[in-house]
Structure formats: C-alpha cells, structure tokens
C-alpha cells in the first residue's frame, strides 16, 4: 500500500493506494469517534462490493446503513441528492455520522455534496471504484450535482477525511469506463508533466489491460499531481484551474447530448483535442504535438472528434453557462507545450466559434 497526503493544514487527509485494502480499518483511522455510517453506492457497484464494504466496517464497530442510487450521470440530480438526505433523516443520523462514497465519480460527487450539506456538514470518505474517480474526482473536495442547464452547477468545496483507492476494484470495470478514466490520466500529462505523458506513450499498448503494477503507478502519479495542485490552490483561484483542460468544451458536449449519453471522460477527451487545436492555431503548440495528443487518446479508445451535429454556436451557448466563466469571459485552459498549460480569457467568442466550425 502506498500513501499520499493532501496537505490542507487542519483539513489534510490521506490517499491510500493498493490492492485488497481494508475499508473498515482505514475508515476507522479516518473516523476514530464515529459510530453511524451510511454507505452510498449505486445499482451497478453495490452487488459487487457492498457486502465486503459493510462487513469490513461492521468489524470495526461501525453501525452501517445504506443508500443505493440508480447508476449513471443522468441521475446526478436533485432527486438523487434528496434520496440520500431522506435516507439519512429516516435513519435518525446526527451530526456525528459519516458518509462512505462507494462508486465512481457520480456517486462520489453526490455523496460529498450530501455530506457538505446534511445538518450543515458531516464527515465522508471516498472509496472510488472507477479509474476516473481514483485519478481525479475523488481527490480535491469538489462535490456537486447537475442542473439541466449545466454540469456541476450546484455544489461545494468540501474535503473528505480519506480516499481509499483499491486497484482490485478496477478488475470489474468495463473497458469503456477504463478508457474514460484514461482521459483524465492523459490530461495530467498534458497540463503539467511531460515525462508522465511520455511514459503513457511508451506504455500505450498496455493502458487498457489489467496490469496491476502499471495501474498502481498511474493512479499514484495522478493523485500525487492533483494532491500537490490542490494543496497550492484548493478553491481554484489559480493553478488548479489547469486541471480543467478539456472540461469547458467537454461539459458543453455532455449538456448538448444529454448527461450520460457520453461518459464524462469521453467528453473530456474530445474537449482536450479541441483545446489542443485551438492552441495550435494560436501558435502555442505544434501540429506534431496535436498528433501526439490525438494518437494517445485514440490508443486509449477515446473519441477525438466532437459530435458533428454540434455547431460552434451550440458550444458558445452552452459554455456561457459554465462555472468557469469569469467577468463575462470564458476561460480556456490550453496546452502551451506537452507538459505545460495556461489559462486564457482573451479569446473572442467569434474566433472560437469560427474555429470550431472548421473542425466539424
């Protein structure tokens, strides 16, 4: 087992990465005085891991309740959030309870938001079971639910007490979901770590296989990158914004198609290619850099084109609702080299819209 630390002073917490981790023991370390816990999971993950998680927690003296949600991005809604709240209230859980998020990014985001708001805030632990959640969404305290007009529009920054990433849960992950997680992995290399990007290129043929050693290296490196970024900029006032590469365009794709039509990672991949092509047009990166990015995403079986029925004006309309709009300007994260990136807010809507039209 490897351990990283997200250094946020009194709100610091560990990330445990390894195989066959003891959920109960690690949760007890994170929640030494807690008795009542509620596992929040979904209809796909619960049959696979709920019994193991519950018995492990009960072995450590926790009183365990459960809340099982429908699976999918389309259920990351106020209704699902209220289902968690109703379960907590019905169980008579007080402010000394804790929530356990057992699932992927959707479960983690909703559970975190429920924890942030139930009785003005209770503890929670992330147990991510997808690659995307392990390398990205479970770390950093971003919690949210979707609104019909925009992704993650209702949420809070609220840090967990621990993240427990058991690599063995990836054994049951469908290839499509593993590919989606690789979008966030590749993103990390593009924005901040050129050597990591090169490592991914060298291991591209093994990325979709269940190579435990490789996956553990990837999860550790991505969590290390994100932990350091979050420690420097918890609330996305500076460097943390770089983690949004591909997300402004990607969120627009998700909203256009309907949340859940494409997996989040698939939309981020297509959005990353758009950002790379904008960066090439501005002279920040070369055509060869764009080819390398597209090639790696393609080898990970991710889309490198956005839906052809989506126009430049569709993008602009939807990106105007993005959380990252500041003072009326859409903020774009663009690569300035493979391993470097920056935020730009001076690109005109007409310029971006016309460029998007040339990509259709």
Which residues belong to the annotated binding site for NAD(+)?
Answer: 71-76, 105-109, 129-130, 142, 151, 169-172
Q: Tell me whether residue 247 is one of the annotated catalytic residues.
A: yes
- Identify the active-site residue in 28, 152, 177, 184: 184
Q: Which residues pair with 124 in a beta bridge?
A: 99
Q: Tell me whether residue 142 is one of the annotated catalytic residues.
A: yes
Known binding-site residues equal 71-76, 105-109, 129-130, 142, 151, 169-172, 184, 247, 264
- Identify the active-site residue in 28, 42, 54, 142: 142
- Identify the active-site residue in 146, 187, 244, 277: 244
Among 197, 320, 336, residue whose Cα is nearest residue 278: 336
Q: Tell me whether residue 226 is one of the annotated catalytic residues.
A: yes
Q: Tell me whether residue 264 is one of the annotated catalytic residues.
A: yes
SS3 at position 338: coil
- Identify the active-site residue in 28, 251, 277, 331: 251
Known binding-site residues for Zn(2+) equal 184, 247, 264
- Identify the active-site residue in 54, 221, 226, 331: 226
Give the Å distances, CA to CA, from 105 to 51, 131, 144: 20, 9, 10
Using CB atoms within 10 A of its CB, is residue 114 exposed (0-12), middle (13-18) or buried (19+)? Answer: buried
Cα 251–Cα 201–Cα 253 angle in degrees, nearest 5:
10
Give the Å distances, CA to CA, from 354 to 282, 292, 316: 14, 24, 11
- Tokens 């966030």 belong to 184
Q: Tell me whether residue 240 is one of the annotated catalytic residues.
A: yes
- Identify the active-site residue in 54, 178, 264, 324: 264
- Identify the active-site residue in 9, 10, 33, 120: 120
For 343, residues 6+ apart whose C-beta sits below 8 A from its C-beta are 241, 242, 331, 332, 333
What distance in Å separates the CA atoms of residue 200 and residue 206, rounded to the nearest whole number?
Answer: 9
Tokens of 95: 């402010």
- Identify the active-site residue in 54, 187, 221, 247: 247
- Identify the active-site residue in 54, 187, 240, 292: 240
Among 156, 163, 44, 39, residue whose Cα is nearest residue 101: 39
Q: Tell me whether residue 236 is one of the annotated catalytic residues.
A: yes
- Identify the active-site residue in 177, 236, 254, 266: 236
Give the Å distances, CA to CA, from 143 to 105, 111, 244, 345: 10, 8, 15, 25
Element (H, E) at 79: helix 78-90
Catalytic positions: 120, 142, 184, 226, 236, 240, 244, 247, 251, 264
């Amino acid at each position: 087992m490897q351990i990283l630390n997200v250094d946020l002073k009194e709100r610091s917490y560990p990330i445990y990465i390894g195989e066959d981790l003891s959920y109960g023991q690690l949760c007890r370390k994170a929640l030494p005085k807690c008795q009542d816990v509620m596992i929040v999971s979904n209809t796909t993950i619960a049959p696979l891991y709920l019994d193991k998680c519950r018995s492990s927690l009960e072995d450590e003296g926790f009183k365990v309740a459960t809340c099982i949600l429908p699976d999918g991005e389309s259920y990351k809604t106020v209704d699902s959030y209220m289902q968690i709240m109703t379960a907590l209230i019905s169980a008579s859980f007080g402010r000394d309870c804790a929530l356990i998020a057992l699932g992927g990014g959707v479960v983690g985001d909703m559970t975190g938001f429920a924890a942030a708001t139930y009785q003005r805030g209770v503890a929670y632990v992330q147990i991510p079971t997808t690659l995307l959640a392990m390398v990205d969404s479970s770390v950093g305290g971003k919690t949210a639910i979707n609104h019909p007009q925009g992704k993650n529009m209702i949420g809070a920054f609220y840090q967990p007490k621990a993240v427990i990433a058991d690599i063995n849960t990836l054994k049951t992950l469908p290839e499509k979901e593993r590919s989606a997680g690789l979008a966030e992995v590749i993103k990390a290399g593009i924005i901040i770590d050129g050597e990591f990007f090169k490592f991914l290129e060298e291991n591209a043929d093994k990325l979709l296989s269940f190579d435990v050693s490789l996956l553990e290296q990837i999860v550790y490196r991505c969590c290390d990158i994100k932990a350091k970024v979050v420690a420097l900029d918890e609330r996305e006032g500076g460097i943390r914004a770089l983690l949004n590469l591909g997300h402004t365009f990607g969120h627009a794709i998700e909203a256009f198609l309907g949340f859940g039509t494409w997996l989040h990672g698939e939309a981020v991949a297509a959005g990353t290619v758009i950002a790379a092509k904008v960066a090439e047009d501005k002279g920040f990166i070369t055509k060869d850099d764009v080819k390398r990015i597209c090639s790696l995403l393609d080898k990970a079986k991710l889309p490198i084109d956005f839906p052809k029925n989506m126009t430049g004006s569709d993008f602009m309309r939807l990106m105007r609702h993005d959380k990252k709009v500041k003072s009326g300007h859409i903020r774009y994260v663009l690569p300035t080299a493979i391993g470097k990136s920056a935020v730009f807010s001076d690109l005109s809507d007409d310029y971006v819209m016309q460029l998007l039209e040339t990509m259709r």
